Amino acid sequence: MRVNLRAKIGLLILLPTFFTGCLFIFVDAVREKNNTIIFFIILALVMIIAVIFVKNFSEPIKKIIIGVDKIKKGDLDYRIKVFNNDELGELAGNFNQMAEELNISDKKVEKYNKNLKKEVADKTKELKKALAGIQNEKHDLEKQRLATLNILEDVNKSEDELRIINKALIEKRQELEILRSLGVELSSVLEIEDAIKIFSGHLAKAVDFSAAVFVIINEGNAGGITYSACLNHELSERYMKKIKDNLIKYFTSKKRKNLSAVAHVIENVKPHIFGKKLNNNSKLKFKENIIYPLKTGNNTLGLVQLTASDYDILKSKKVEFIEAMIANLSISVSRLQTIVCSQNTKTSSLIESLSDGILMYDSEKNIVLMNPSAAKYVGFEKEAISLNDVYKVFKGYKISEKIDLSLKTGEIFRFENVELNDYYFEIFIIPVKDMNKKIVGGAIILRDITFLKKINKMKTEFVSVASHQMRTPLTAIKLFTGMLINGEVGKFNKGQAEYLDNIYESTERMVRLVNDLLNVTRIESGRLRVTPEPAILKDMIKGAIAEAKPFADNKKIKIDFISDNDLTKIPLDQNLMRQVIHNLLINAIRYSKNNGGRIIVEVKRDSKDSFLVKVKDNGIGIPEKMQKRIFEKFFRADNAIKSVTEGTGLGLYVSKMIVESSGGRIWFKSKKNKGACFFVKIPVKGMKEREGERGLAIS
């Protein structure tokens, strides 16, 4: 039967109590003098029982503690020998069972560890073998990595090279496209200046130059050279001077003595500039310069000078491209010069065969061409003639002055009726311009009008003779008709008198026409006599107004006269000048409105050198499209013919001839149906005397 551990513990707790109680009893017995032996016996028994009981309780615990210590030290074979049939015995049994299980587990663990060690060793061998393989593979991979890096480096390098090559190919492609386009465009141009502009435009697409200067030697051209400059940037005049200095240095070098004349031309002229404009505020400096000659074979056509404002812009890699473009330009210039030379040859042949005399001179006024007709007219050999000789031949015509003015301004001058060696000429002085529109010389054209002059003379003489022959019978008819009208030979009835009046008026018109024709022939043939005498212009005009007043009164037209008071006397042929004013007044009256027309005549000092006469009306005016012909011989405007059927169309022509031969000027302003105002400017110095056969025929 198993003793309950709780009962033992209860007894263990009660023994001290019991012992204490016995002690108190013993003390009391001594006091009371009871039996001491009995007390000690009981006490001894109690002590023995207590010792046995404590030993029986603590021994299993001690063994359990020793067992735990053994187990802790790894002695799993140790077992507790406890025979108590209580909880301690059960605890010892459990302890022994636990130790047995731990021993079994330990053996299993040991076996497992042994197997694990073997497995670890095997795995370690495998891992070492695998690691060795990995090391080998790593080594191989490292080699592959290095090889790959080398390949990548080579690839990167190749990519850079390919990029550079690709860029170069693109540039080459662009250059080839530029060359192709340049060749196509140059093949169709007909002017060297156009070729230069096309070349400059294409060059600017590939090269960042500052200026491209072109000097082209024009064989057989009086202009000498074509000198142009394309500005790709705005440049200063100082920059351009540096360019010119380099060109002069190039053309005056010992190797190019034959081109020194080109340097002289460049030094004295400015280039034709296109592209950007000159700007003296430009900060760009002349830093780089290269000259490319224009050549075909051994033939030097000129040069192209490229300049840059930064170093290395005109790089060596661009040289081949630029030279290819230059070659294209050279071919084009050579082709154009061949065309020009051919044209010049044809032109020279044409000029040689012309009946008109042609003398051509350059900007230095050296004669470069004279055709046989000109040599014949001036009477000189080709080799000996110069412009000074021409001046002497045409002395008095201011040829030298007009040539200088033509070279300077580009004007064309004309001389009429120039007489020389029994010939009559119409002389033209014209400027000659190059393809840049610059004046490079000029030409004197002698047009032989001798035949026309003779025909005109014959016509004038015929008209003069016919007019004279007609004038005598007309005068007689007018005289006798007047006598009949005045009743000197008897009276006529009303119908007969009307017929006589018509005859008289028709005869009067015929007399005026004949007189006008005579005046025209005398003026045109130079046979009109001019006899100026001092006269006051104001008084002369008053006289002309007085003569025309009856005609104005008949149409109920008012004439107002305005004049300055300080008009001095001037030399005038009063018959001629009165005829001018008379013609203007008669026209103003004739074409003004009846009954309400008004004419204003004004004379004043226009300037210190001239007087101005104005004759203004409010009549039918002159249509704009006919105003250019109003001073032509025999011309009358359509509205004038409709308004007044009578008229010869010679009055204004004669007036113009008289005024201009006197050094004056006549003109007008007019609008249709708003009247006309005629102006006559008369020099203060008056008219010059001229000898002639006849005076003016006055109607």
303 in helix, strand or coil? strand
Higher-pLDDT residue of 612 and 171 is: 612
Please say if the pLDDT value at position 607 is more than 80: yes
Amino acid making up residue 550: P
- How much is the average pLDDT of 226-231? 89
Among the listed ranges 170-179, 223-232, 312-321, 626-635, which one has the minimum average pLDDT value? 312-321
Joined together, the tokens standing for residue 693 give: 């056969």
Count helices and strands (H / E) in the chain. Answer: 16, 17
Alpha helix ranges (H) inside 299-415: 319-353, 372-378, 387-393, 399-409
Kindly list the structural domains of the chain, giving each domain's residue range(s) and its CATH number in brackets, ordered by start.
Answer: 1-163 (no CATH), 187-340 (3.30.450.40), 354-448 (3.30.450.20), 454-523 (1.10.287), 528-683 (3.30.565.10)
Distances 456 to 414, 448, 451, 531 between C-alpha atoms, Å: 20, 14, 8, 26
641 in helix, strand or coil? helix
Please say if the pLDDT value at position 611 is more than 80: yes
pLDDT in tens, 278-301: 888 888 888 888 888 888 777 888
pLDDT in tens, 180-199: 887 888 777 777 888 889 98
Beta bridge partners of 229: 213, 273
User: How many Å apart are CA 445 and CA 362, to the nearest integer?
Assistant: 15
% of residues, the chain, pLDDT over 70: 76
Residue among 409, 406, 450 nearest 428 (CA): 406
- How much is the average pLDDT of 214-233? 76
Please say if the pLDDT value at position 512 is more than 50: yes
What local confidence, expressed as pLDDT, does residue 231 receive?
92
What local confidence, expressed as pLDDT, does residue 221 receive?
45
What local confidence, expressed as pLDDT, does residue 39 receive?
63
Residue 594 φ/ψ, nearest 5 degrees:
-70, 145
pLDDT-derived band at 2 (thresholds 50, 70, 90) equals very low
pLDDT in tens, 53-104: 666 666 777 777 777 777 777 776 777 776 666 666 677 777 777 777 777 7
pLDDT-derived band at 388 (thresholds 50, 70, 90) equals confident
Contacts of 683 (CB under 8 A, 6+ apart): 570, 609, 610, 662, 663, 664
- How much is the average pLDDT of 257-286? 83
Please say if the pLDDT value at position 535 is more than 70: yes
Which long-range contacts does 593-599 make (Cβ < 8 Å, 24+ apart)?
593/557, 593/618, 593/619, 594/555, 594/556, 594/557, 595/555, 595/556, 596/556, 596/557, 597/555, 597/556, 597/557, 597/558, 598/557, 598/558, 598/559, 598/560, 599/552, 599/557, 599/558, 599/559, 599/560
Contacts of 365 (CB under 8 A, 6+ apart): 387, 403, 407
439 in helix, strand or coil? strand
Among the listed ranges 41-50, 282-291, 318-327, 616-625, which one has the minimum average pLDDT value? 41-50
Evaluate the CA torsion angle 325, 327, 328, 333 in order and state its sign. Answer: positive
What local confidence, expressed as pLDDT, does residue 445 receive?
86
Strands of 42-180, DSSP E: none
What local confidence, expressed as pLDDT, does residue 465 receive?
55
Residue 692 CA, distance from chain mean position: 63
Residue 535 CA, distance from chain mean position: 63
- How much is the average pLDDT of 255-275? 79
User: How many Å apart are CA 378 and CA 384, to the nearest integer?
Assistant: 12
Alpha helix ranges (H) inside 448-597: 450-485, 494-524, 537-554, 574-590
Among the listed ranges 3-7, 338-342, 631-635, which one has the minimum average pLDDT value? 3-7
- Parallel, antiparallel, or unpaired for β 299-308 and 211-217? antiparallel
Residue 256 φ/ψ, nearest 5 degrees:
-125, 45
Please say if the pLDDT value at position 30 is more than 50: yes
Q: Are 365 and 389 within 8 A, CB to CB? A: no
Joined together, the tokens standing for residue 585 give: 């007044």
User: How many Å apart are CA 65 and CA 314, to the nearest integer?
Assistant: 108
Predicted structure pTM score: 0.41
Q: Which H, E and C letters describe 226-270, residue by residue?
A: EEEEEECCCECHHHHHHHHHHHHHHHCCHHHHHHHHHHHHHHHCC
User: How many Å apart are CA 22 and CA 28, to the nearest integer?
Assistant: 10
Evaluate the CA torsion angle 148, 152, 157, 162 in order and state its sign. Answer: positive
Higher-pLDDT residue of 271 and 9 is: 271
Contacts of 341 (CB under 8 A, 6+ apart): 219, 220
Please say if the pLDDT value at position 463 is more than 60: no
pLDDT-derived band at 676 (thresholds 50, 70, 90) equals very high
pLDDT in tens, 389-402: 788 877 777 888 88
Joined together, the tokens standing for residue 659 give: 């005024």
H or E stretch including 180?
A: helix 87-186
What local confidence, expressed as pLDDT, does residue 252 receive?
84
- How much is the average pLDDT of 530-535? 83
Number of Cβ within a 10 Å radius of residue 653 = 22
- How much is the average pLDDT of 636-650? 77
